[in-house]
Structure 1
């Protein structure tokens, strides 16, 4: 008999809300976190808007000691630690300074990069022959596994402590890796999630690729337009999402709040073959990933009530919808509701999958489907495939039972996970 795996804790640092209460309010009410970025304008980026969490010095001091913050310059680790510890506390778990590690608990916390600003600072010091002035934390801040290392130490985790990295699919993949570890009985709980650095040194490459929105610099909140006919590219974003994934038996034993259940999922790659490339998805692989996620979850396509898509506000949005219709065998008014959180946060890159998964879980737990802002001019290629009513403009209050969440990343990598409203 398969172990049941559930979600018992949530934590978030998103452009439109730091902390679960603020984030929930924002997605229900269509609040955008996208703002004008003076630094991007100064550096002459074509896209001069971005989604970035608002973290005060006071909030930082709640999660890091004064000594830790000395010379600290890694936004990815900052976002990840804040989200991770919120999720841990939200799950009703305590932070204790025991002599022994917590052997039953670990973390799989993804990242695309770590400490890019710290790298830049270090390069300048080295070039100026000041290597001895780099400081003692430069390695921890710049290693890709820095976020999981910080969380492992702060929480005393004794099970697996690692960082995965699969471009935009990172967060969704991390949740599935945690699910697999608990399914196999190797852990009772895993703090899963992902984080993404912010700033021009992360976003510059995408701006150079001309895939970012440059037409809405004077109207930032209108800039991210997934599924829209006037979509002009994605808006860069950053942040972190964290989930406590737990064995159902352990969760019940603790009397924990259960937000949702993970039924299963799938990860694969299109191998950059066929119509796939470093930057474009192989449609056959995308469809297979979705189909295999359903098989692994032991559900039929007709049971899916809603989809939280990848949907980045690029020319690939209509292709993604087409892939969903083919994989599910559902179209027009038979298609599930679909939404994209990126309309409110921008594309949070390696953090996207975990932040968007939290949005999916909140919809199941509280009974709603959040609206797609900036999508009143739905793309005609999409209206040819599905009923426009399946792309709600404003939040609708229904009771979804099963939501599919998918992420598709650079390198032609895919991840799809199936969440279900928890029922004993």
Structure 2
């Protein structure tokens, strides 16, 4: 052990609301939230983050979150509890919650959540916003200062496509195979403030870039600074935002452990005065595109060698690079299990397997709903909410809302 406290992690997930009869998404979040607040855990005054649900940009989405914790096992328990909260509320409204990066089947026009900010986003960004109903997973990792946070951002950028590849869980859209493992990543990249970032160099450099995006109108507000990783708007955390939501909660927590290991490793590199590897934005976008296109089924850009290498080899290089941080956090076994299962258990692979078994995207949706429900039904419902929270959470910032 280094003597440095293990950094806390917190996880946000966006989930889709499905009509179990038609398998199309249902613009019914308001009904689900009403049911939840009147009859569910939301009535309690004192509650953990896992006992809350939030609205999202569109009415066919819900957002869940966990409280910060240092223990990956506790993060998994919380993630399952949060899904149970969403799943039971959806069931009470006659619907099903599913963990998938994008809407698989054609549906009627997406209905914007009745919120002045969301309506303004659609007015400002038009079709980019109207097609933006994707579902991601965001991992918050503690940082000691903004200076440390920016130093970490500058160092982890070339590794973020690897996290995207492992999480890829959105191959089907409009009833067909997009040809991408993560079509969500391609849709999300349409936002003018989204995507990979070059090195900022300093907090001042980071703030300058943010202000340019705000002044140009590319971001309506700070909550719309949709970088693949950013300083959290309201919390003392770095927020990794590049991943698809994962149907398998153990995979989600494994990715969160990798994100924490990356942050800790980059912070140590900064403290030791090591230089920042220089990457142009074009090269980072190319690496991200390849991760979205193929995920773990082909080759990825190796962040050290800067050449294509088998995806499993690149993930292995990531784990080897951050191994001391993984060991200090007790996450080594979790990372090794992920490496062993990285190809066969990838979300896009499992969706395509369901398509092959069932002969269509309806079968994919059925499988997504079943596996999502199994993820929270497999643990007892009496989840302990006495977490080590560490930070306060706000309903519309940080751990409270993906869109800011």
Shorter-chain TM-score range: under 0.3
**Larger helix fraction of residues:** 2
TM-score if structure 1 supplies the norm length? 0.26
**Larger strand fraction of residues:** 1
